[in-house]
Amino acid sequence: MIRSTLITFIAGGLLWGVASTSQAFEQTGKIDCIAPANPGGGWDFTCRSVGRVLADLGLVDGNVQTINMPGASGGVGFSYVVQKRAGQENVIVAASTVTTTGLARGQFPGMEASMVNWIGTLGADYGVIAVAADSPYQSLPEVMKALKKDPRAVSFTGGTATGGWDHLKLLMAADEAGVDDLARITYLGYNGGGEAVTQTLGGHVDAFTGDISEVISFIESGDLRPLAILSEERLPGKLHEWPTAREQGIDTVAPNWRGFYIPADVSDDAYDWWVDTIDTLYSSDEWKGVMSQNGLMPFEMHGQAFTTFVNDQIAQITDISRQIGLSQ
């Protein structure tokens, strides 16, 4: 099954790790954190929250400035970094499973994972399928029942393009539920989760598919209601009241790792410094607090092990996309 193949691979990645000890590089000046989406989505959250903690802990010399660069589900930002920022050591770029999905599906024309340096992860953000508070749908099985009768009966939106990670996690759940003709399910992709949430709240689409960090404030305010969280078991703390897809009989788990890459052609010392810095941030109490407040689960991987993981995940998602007819 699509689901079990991807879950086995991602879960296996949790066992990998690497340590770096070089500290010859001395970072100075302002840092640009590129969020390759509009404000309000998961990449924007990654840049802004990491930038704040890096500054609070004194891990960087200057301020961390978030630069939003939407387009092509991260492809515009990836291409910009490859073509315009190579060798620049004060640049980090927010990335996730959405990034590897785009690379796997050829959505970043002429771009490959080897054109940047992958430095580390900061946790995993589990998927969620949610509806507006006044939606008639009360559970994920209700939605899947409607899709079985007519794949176009329920419309969805997310912060990635068609065939991106937000779309794929929906199709994984539908496939597990026995929905036929997955390609006919209506999905509208946007450049970031913020726009997708707006469309859902405005009643323009029936349901949102994305990640917990993108919608937790809307869940807490009562504007959005989760139908299912795509985790192995219920998440801790304030998210514990919301059911998983698995406990509703749809065995789908979809974690989205959060992390960073930096430009190519930086020095080895600069690369090692960034690996160590992100590792230090991940281990801090301050970052653990951010994770707890935003529904992030532990997922730690750095340096060369992370690079290997990225390459393997791209190969895996390429295979999955072919299975459901979405490869380019």
Please tell me the predicted confidence (pLDDT) of residue 26.
Answer: 86
- The mean of the pLDDT values for the chain is 89
Please tell me the predicted confidence (pLDDT) of residue 23.
Answer: 56
- Which value, to the nearest 10 degrees, does the dihedral of the CA atoms of residues 47, 13, 83, 19 take? 80
Which H, E and C letters describe 104-172, residue by residue?
HCCCCCCCCHHHEEEEEEEEEEEEEEEEECCCCCCCHHHHHHHHHHCCCCCEEEECCCCCCHHHHHHHH
Question: Can you tell me the mean pLDDT for 116-122?
Answer: 97
Confidence of residue 7 (pLDDT cuts 50, 70, 90): very low
Question: Can you tell me the mean pLDDT for 102-123?
Answer: 94
Confidence of residue 328 (pLDDT cuts 50, 70, 90): low
Question: Can you tell me the mean pLDDT for 259-264?
Answer: 98
3-state secondary structure of 273: helix
Question: Can you tell me the mean pLDDT for 243-255?
Answer: 94
Percent of the chain with pLDDT over 70: 91
Specify the higher pLDDT residue, 140 or 312.
140
pLDDT of 146 over the 70 cut: yes
Question: Which residue is associated with the tokens 């946790």?
Answer: 123
Confidence of residue 310 (pLDDT cuts 50, 70, 90): very high
Rounded to 5 degrees, what angle do the CA atoms 242, 40, 159 make?
A: 75
- Highest mean pLDDT (candidates 5-14, 195-204, 228-237): 195-204
Query: Residue length, the chain?
Result: 328
pTM over 0.85: no
Whole-angstrom Cα distance, residue 163 to residue 169?
10
Percent of the chain with pLDDT over 90: 69
Q: Please choose, from the candidates 159, 161, 254, 214, the residue with its C-alpha nearest in 3D space to the C-alpha of residue 48.
A: 214
For residue 174, how many C-alpha atoms fall within 13 Å in the half-sphere facing its CB? 30
pLDDT of 124 over the 70 cut: yes
Question: Can you tell me the mean pLDDT for 225-242?
Answer: 91
Question: Which residue is associated with the tokens 């969280």?
Answer: 229
Domains and CATH numbers, the chain: 2-125+257-323 (3.40.190.150), 126-248 (3.40.190.10)
Question: Can you tell me the mean pLDDT for 47-67?
Answer: 95
Amino acid letter at 28? Answer: T
pLDDT of 5 over the 50 cut: no
Whole-angstrom Cα distance, residue 153 to residue 110?
37
**Cα 158 off chain centre by:** 11
Whole-angstrom Cα distance, residue 164 to residue 189?
8
pLDDT of 46 over the 60 cut: yes
- Residue 237: both structure tokens together: 């703390």
Question: Can you tell me the mean pLDDT for 26-30?
Answer: 90
Q: Are 256 and 127 in contact (CB under 8 A)?
A: yes
- Which value, to the nearest 10 degrees, does the dihedral of the CA atoms of residues 305, 310, 315, 318 take? 160
DSSP 8-class letter at 90: T
Rounded to 5 degrees, what angle do the CA atoms 81, 85, 91 make?
A: 85
Rounded to 5 degrees, what angle do the CA atoms 109, 113, 274 make?
A: 135
